Structure 1
Amino acid sequence: MCRTMLQIFRNKAQSIFIQIIVVVIALVFIFWGVGANMMNKSEAAIVVNGEEISLQQFQQAYDQAFQQLSDQFGGKVPKGMADALGLKDQVVNRLVQQELLRQGGKQMGVQLSAVEIQHAIQAMPQFHKDGAFDVKSYNSILAANRLSPSKFEANIRHDMLAEKTARAINEFSAHASDFEIEEFYGQANEGVSVDFASFSPKDFSSQVSVEEPALAQWFKEAKDNYKKSPEVKLTYLAYDYATIQEKISLDEAAINNYYQSHLNTFRLAEKRHARHILFVVSPGDSDEKQQAQLKKAENVLKKAQADEDFAQLARQFSEGPSKSEGGDLGFFARAEMIPPFADAVFTLKNGDISGIVKTNFGYHIIKLEGIQEAKTKSLDKVREQIALSLQQDQAKALAFQLANNAYEGIIGAGNLQAYTKKHPETPAITTDYFSQQNPPANLKDNKLFLEKAFALGKKELSSLLQTDSGYAVIYVDDINTPATPTLAKVRDRATEDYRNYLANELAKKKAEEFLKGLHEGKETFTTLAEQTGVQTEKTDFLLRQGDSGTFPQTLLEQIFLLSPQKTSPDTIGQADGSYYVYSYIGRNTPSASLTAPEKERYISGILNNKQQMLLSAWLIFQQKNAQIERNQSL
């Protein structure tokens, strides 16, 4: 089934303002405590220009982000993955950006009407009964959570302000000119063909000779490369999360309590199946064209309302990529589509046909084909995941307690040796000498541990160290600092390295001489290659984003700087250890005549790119000039 249009809509919905904003509907009960002066600063996770975000809000946002990550890995996040992805920093950054958007919206005069708030709440599946908003469910759920409608609606307004501000900023980039479309299309589809020659050092290795005086002189400059890395011998205490976690058992009540208090985390959003008929209109189109397309849409809408086969109408009249599929877009969640389209779809009843809906793509007629109701994953399906999460949390707390007690004990005893003698059950580990580049197997992935160990001096004790895998206390028993070796001790290796150095220099020299010959303009690329015995290749017309064949991908962009007036680059190219010289043959310029679906795709790409750049620049500026405080515990 064709999914091009669906993907375009999804790409649009995943533009930066969607990425940085937690969708309100999915977070109905997460952020209702947001606001200034809701708590003491000591209890705040983040303070943005005086506005506080609580630790509870951060934790709930983090839990949801972790849940999304867990879903991508089938319910089990690989060890260390969240830390490797910087999940905590991502959540902090997202919350900061949300708050900056809210503050910016207030300064810009962005307003939310009561109708907008009402529609947002009525669309929340938590308050639905039999597929529709139910006032009794709304009031009872709020009452159960000790919230009044006015308080809840004020909080929804607070959350929606960030999203509306982002949209307001994006409205400054709501147009793609014909010039931009043609330029974008041209850059994506033009091709350049070149002759090229590669100069690989390995091809010149047999042409160089190693002479003793020159080798000795070269070694004086390169001798530090042959110096072994410092080695340390450690004794350390390790309180590993995973090891401690294995010893933690949970009762069913704890798992059930977690499940009940985090129901929204396990909520699956409502999805809807729709077809549409699209009449393409670009923001830059003339009023006459827009009116003509609107008239077409109105005529087809009458046919659809007269019970003519909708799929057949789409095949006959739609100008979108899903035309051949009868306009079928499959099932999608609300957040996967751009707002005007999604708003229309999610207000329809099953089998209903919408009126004419206007988006940046043009005029749509939509038919709702099916509904997958929002639902919550059962406890049985998430029990293992919850147990793992609780065990991890308890393991982290217990690891800190054990490590902190040990550290205080070491300070009290005077040194690590005295402490372990007094407490022989302490899990002290002593290593042999090792370098930072070749640590013991159990430490090779613990970058922070290694950095700290090699930053300490001999007989020095670290502070309590938290790493990705747990807590540790490190003591440096000894440091071995190797001396710089003589040439005699590393002669074989140094000789080979020097030979490679000479071959590389010769390859570079030959490439530069070849390019110089081209610049002199006395001979063509082909003739010069024949005279110098250089092997050459000729490319097809290469695209910027296409396969470059045997030509280096990293040099691909450079050939698009060439032209009939400038047939060769100013300097030689370098890629994969070889040197390259290339010369312009020709350029294949695509036709500027675009089909409606092609134009639709390029408009979408241009607008999405412009809006992301604009909003990103706005946020960077705001963050640079904001006063942001982050709780040390984060």
Structure 2
Amino acid sequence: MLYLMRNKIKSVVMWFIIGAFLATIFYAWGVGSARRGSGKRGEKNWVAHVAGEKISAVEYERALQRMQDRFQDLPAELVKKLNLKERTLEGLIRQRLLQQEAQRMGIEIPNEELARSIETLPYFQENGTFSKRAYRTALSQYFKMTPTIFENRQRAALQVQKLEDLIGDTVKVSEKEIHQAYVRQNEKVVIEYALLRADDHRPKGRIRKAAAQAYYEKHQEDFRTKEEINVLYAYLTPQDFFREVTLPEGAAKRYYKENKEDYVQPEKIRVRHILIRVPRNADGEALQKAREKIEGILKQVKAGQDFTELARKYSQDSSASRGGDLGYFAKGQMVKAFEKAAFALQPGETSGIVQSKFGFHIIKMEDHKAAIAKSFEEVRPRIEAKLKFIEALHHARKKAMHLYAEIRKGKDFRGAIEEAGYSLRETGYFSRADNRIAGIPTDLARAFNEEAFAAGDNGVGRVRGDQGFLLLQVLKRRPPRIPALKEVRAKVNAAVAVEMGRENVRKAAVEMVKALKGKHPFVEAAKQAKAVETKTTAPFTRTESPVSPDFTKAAFALTADHPADRIETKQGEYVLFLRKKIPADESAYAGAKEEIKKSLREEKKKNLLAAWVNQIRKGTTVKVNQDLLDRI
């Protein structure tokens, strides 16, 4: 049977050579509870059908959560580019295809083999031995599934692993491939290079009218304006009404009595802590490893070792460099589990192991400050200022609403505002995309923009803010248009100068490359090309980038017959000259051979598996429930 399966795999490989991709393997028995928020699913509670077999929304959500946890420390912009939703779905579809193929090929997992695989998992063991109690506890608390469901999923995962191993057995790596890879990894080059800046090659004089006209005609759409409006507005603030405000006798005192809790310096503590992080939805093995590590640290704490030094050495929190010091904090500033344990301590006392959503902590109380109530006289100026502001804001709102109502009834906008004694200003023209508008507070600019564009020609509007009220009237509206050349001449001239600078620097780089190939001295050629920077690199390999990946790629393409080349950059051009090529050290080949062979074999295996899965998918009906996916 094994012979037949291997030959079948080889025949598929021979006939189908497909572009390889790197796929993440999703084992169906992954842990973690499903996230909420996918909306009403109704009867269609599946995200995909693979040959009639469902991939449930719950399974998808678990896998997506694990994927997001894996990349949670990366910048948000980079995570967005990774397109985790699509990767997650494709990974699950791929895994389901492999499971189905393993079953179709008759790959079986005997009960004994399944049991052995489960018994060897560390999170089901106690003192190095499988424990039924630990097994049921882990499934219930961490995996959130019954033994039957877990065992079925574990069996499916083992089937896929066997299939992958069978495919891997067909992969061969030749001695020539290993040596070529070693050479590519270890040969080095030394490059002399020059930076030619486009800015230094811009025309010095005025841009000719003909050049500006030609550029303008070719790029007119680049200068098209958006719809713009000019708005007349008045800003009524509490400051305009402070003189009208008189606080009733005893108002501040009454406010103090009714809001005493606002004038209490809360109880605060200062603690140090040691944190061993545990990722969200970590599996049992990760939890166990983290717990074992924190238990070992706790033993050192109890043995009298310095807590500050232990925090510096072991803590996985940003406070580690400060010896775990979190400074003073009040209740409500930390996660509840941590806060409860910390506030229960006495100065100098150390906690046991505390688990929070971040992982496992050991906490040491450094200092405690009791809550202190401030006297009325201490806070009286603040209270009076606050009450006056509130009353003045009320006056401003009342006045703004009165004026707005009068204007809506037909009273002239400008006349009404000036008659009331408030100043008027114009914003100047702005578009819908503008989040900064002259004279408008930053926090109100977006609301002002939307209200103004919604008002229509000569329309009026109002915007309420925490610090005042805006009344507005649209004065003029300019539709999108391509302005005449004379209106944008400065912008056109600048664009022409940039374009000419890039063209001139490209020509200079080409000429410098020719000169270097003609054996002209590098320094002389660089000076002729107006290079602003010349350097010589230290020896580097293909995996190193002294300037950029493109620089490294171009550097290793250079040869004795083709010793110079150029690459374009945002600044201008780099010109590279091959100063020296250093062959790989053959004496180290024998020691590196096995590791390279292993790496090449894994890469080939992944490519082969990807090609095989792609071919299987071509003959399989796969349906995707896009409506549900969009709601998750």
TM-score by length of 1: 0.50
Correspondence for 1:113: 110
Kept after mapping to 2: 8 A contact 1:208/1:502: no
Kept after mapping to 2: 8 A contact 1:231/1:436: no
Offset at 1:117?
A: 0.8
Q: Structure 2: which 5+ residue stretches go unaligned?
A: 1-20, 35-40, 231-279, 292-352, 361-428, 457-475
Query: Which of 465, 483, 486 lines up with 2:484 in the alignment?
Result: 486
Give per-residue Cα distances to partners, 1:266-290, cap 9 Å, x unaligned.
Answer: 77454499xxxxxxxxxxxxxxxxx
Name the CA shift for 1:143/1:577 in 2 (closer, same or farther; >3 Å): closer
Correspondence for 1:22: 27
Offset at 1:169?
A: 2.4
The separation in 2 between residues aligned to 1:222 and 1:107, in whole angstroms, is: 60
Name the CA shift for 1:68/1:436 in 2 (closer, same or farther; >3 Å): same
Name the CA shift for 1:591/1:81 in 2 (closer, same or farther; >3 Å): closer
Query: Which of 219, 224, 228 lines up with 1:227 in the alignment?
Result: 224
| Aligned-partner residue type, residue 356 of structure 2 | K
Q: How does 1:286-305 map to 2 (within 5 A)?
A: none
Query: Which of 495, 498, 505 lines up with 1:500 in the alignment?
Result: 498
Give per-residue Cα distances to partners, 1:62-101, cap 9 Å, x unaligned.
Answer: 455556667x69xxxx999987764443432222121011
Correspondence for 1:46: 48
Correspondence for 2:189: 192
Give per-residue Cα distances to partners, 1:356-402, cap 9 Å, x unaligned.
Answer: xxxxxxxxxxxxxxxxxxxxxx99624999xxxxxxxxxxxxxxxxx
Check if 1:96 corresponds to 2:93: yes
| Aligned-partner residue type, residue 583 of structure 2 | T
Give per-residue Cα distances to partners, 1:283-316, cap 9 Å, x unaligned.
Answer: xxxxxxxxxxxxxxxxxxxxxxxxxxxxxxxxxx
Check if 1:546 corresponds to 2:544: yes
| Aligned-partner residue type, residue 489 of structure 2 | R
TM-score by length of 2: 0.50
Q: Structure 1: which 5+ residue stretches go unaligned?
A: 1-15, 31-38, 234-261, 274-377, 386-431, 459-477
| Aligned-partner residue type, residue 633 of structure 1 | L
Q: How does 1:60-459 map to 2 (within 5 A)?
A: 60-65=62-67, 86-124=83-121, 128=125, 131-134=128-131, 153-173=151-171, 175-205=172-202, 207=204, 209-229=206-226, 268-271=286-289, 381-382=356-357, 434-436=431-433
The separation in 2 between residues aligned to 1:102 and 1:162, in whole angstroms, is: 6
| Aligned-partner residue type, residue 44 of structure 1 | W
Offset at 1:119?
A: 0.7
* Rg (Cα) greater in structure: 2
Kept after mapping to 1: 8 A contact 2:33/2:281: no
The separation in 1 between residues aligned to 2:544 and 2:79, in whole angstroms, is: 33
Correspondence for 1:371: none
Give per-residue Cα distances to partners, 1:381-440, cap 9 Å, x unaligned.
Answer: 24999xxxxxxxxxxxxxxxxxxxxxxxxxxxxxxxxxxxxxxxxxxxxxx974458699
Q: How does 1:513-532 map to 2 (within 5 A)?
A: 513-517=511-515, 521=518, 523-526=519-522, 529=525, 532=528
Kept after mapping to 1: 8 A contact 2:211/2:496: no
| Aligned-partner residue type, residue 500 of structure 1 | V
Correspondence for 1:575: 569
Check if 1:602 corresponds to 2:593: no
Offset at 1:180?
A: 2.6
| Aligned-partner residue type, residue 45 of structure 2 | E
Offset at 1:137?
A: 7.1
Kept after mapping to 1: 8 A contact 2:167/2:609: yes
The separation in 2 between residues aligned to 1:621 and 1:439, in whole angstroms, is: 54
The separation in 2 between residues aligned to 1:172 and 1:94, in whole angstroms, is: 23
Check if 1:633 corresponds to 2:608: no
Offset at 1:190?
A: 1.3
Offset at 1:577?
A: 3.0
The separation in 2 between residues aligned to 1:381 and 1:622, in whole angstroms, is: 45
SS at match of 2:27: coil
Name the CA shift for 1:115/1:229 in 2 (closer, same or farther; >3 Å): farther
Kept after mapping to 1: 8 A contact 2:23/2:91: no
The separation in 1 between residues aligned to 2:499 and 2:149, in whole angstroms, is: 73
Correspondence for 2:509: 511
| Aligned-partner residue type, residue 123 of structure 1 | T
Give per-residue Cα distances to partners, 1:414-470, cap 9 Å, x unaligned.
Answer: xxxxxxxxxxxxxxxxxx97445869999999xxxx9xxx9xxx9xxxxxxxxxxxx
Give per-residue Cα distances to partners, 1:311-331, cap 9 Å, x unaligned.
Answer: xxxxxxxxxxxxxxxxxxxxx
Kept after mapping to 1: 8 A contact 2:32/2:62: no
SS at match of 2:587: coil
| Aligned-partner residue type, residue 602 of structure 1 | I
Offset at 1:483?
A: 0.8
Kept after mapping to 2: 8 A contact 1:563/1:586: no
Offset at 1:124?
A: 4.3
Give per-residue Cα distances to partners, 1:160-182, cap 9 Å, x unaligned.
Answer: 22233233323333x54432332
SS at match of 1:504: helix
Kept after mapping to 1: 8 A contact 2:189/2:541: yes
The separation in 2 between residues aligned to 1:485 and 1:566, in whole angstroms, is: 49
Name the CA shift for 1:540/1:23 in 2 (closer, same or farther; >3 Å): same
Kept after mapping to 1: 8 A contact 2:558/2:564: yes
The separation in 1 between residues aligned to 2:71 and 2:282, in whole angstroms, is: 15
Correspondence for 2:557: 561
Offset at 1:515?
A: 3.6
Name the CA shift for 1:270/1:171 in 2 (closer, same or farther; >3 Å): farther
Offset at 1:538?
A: 4.3
Count of paired positions: 395
Amino-acid identity (%) = 20
Offset at 1:484?
A: 0.6
Kept after mapping to 2: 8 A contact 1:544/1:557: yes
